[in-house]
Amino acid sequence: MRFVSSIAITVALASAASADVSFSLGFDTEDMAIRTIEYECDEGQPFVVHYFTSESDVLALVPVDEDHRVFVNVVSASGARYVSGRYEWWTKGENVTLTDTIKEESLLQCTPNNE
């Protein structure tokens, strides 16, 4: 028997009457790996990113602007590249970069905290 796990993600919508929206992503537990990595960034404050990997999908839950955004893995010539709207999270070797692709501006430069 196979069990299905759900990842619940809550997104706060900004409006006059603010509402919370939740949704679940189902992954087969035999096909899913969850990895949590703490990064140290040039801003001085470490933060945590959660990676959800299945046979067909890779997602990253990345803190951006005091909220968590769901990033989807996309094709990259080198490293692992994830996008969410205007933001790009790119891991390449020991370096990780968060970029605002509209402003063409690097927001963070990070490395994994290997403690």
pLDDT in tens, the chain (115 residues): 343 444 444 333 333 344 455 556 665 666 788 899 999 988 677 789 999 998 888 999 999 988 889 999 998 888 899 999 999 999 998 899 999 999 999 999 999 987 6
Q: What is the pTM of this model?
A: 0.73
> Considering its fold, how many domains does the chain have in total?
1
In a domain, residue 16? The reply is: no
Written as one string, the DSSP assignment of 48-93 is: EEEEEE-SS-EEEEEEETTEEEEEEEE--SSSEEEEETTEEEEEET
Alpha carbons 78 and 105: distance in angstroms, whole number: 20
Q: What is the CATH number of the domain that holds 97?
A: 2.40.128.200
In a domain, residue 14? The reply is: no
